[in-house]
Amino acid sequence: MIRVGVPETVAASNAQVFGLIAEGDAAWLSDDVASITGDPPRSLHAFIADHITAFTISRFRHR
């Protein structure tokens, strides 16, 4: 990030956040999803698996 001009303090903060995510600190589920949507919460992994075609490069190719 620093190489492309991101200030060092911002890069360090981002690295810290991404490190916490990688360690699983953001891998918790909340009952808020169920109370708002009526559907049970699920992990990001499950969401992506269910909607994998929305995340494929071929979907964004110009036709």
DSSP conformational letter for 38: S
Model confidence pLDDT, tens digit, residues 11-62: 999 999 999 999 988 887 778 989 999 998 888 899 999 999 988 877 666 5
User: Domain containing 34: what range?
Assistant: 2-60
Task: Provide the domain count of the chain.
Answer: 1
In 3D space, the residue among 53, 54, 28 whose CA is nearest the CA of residue 42 turns out to be 28
Q: Please report how many Cα atoms fall inside a 13 Å half-sphere around the Cα of residue 14, on the Cβ side.
A: 8
1, 11 Cβ separation under 8 angstroms: yes
How high is the pLDDT of residue 60?
Answer: 62
Its pTM surpasses 0.85: no
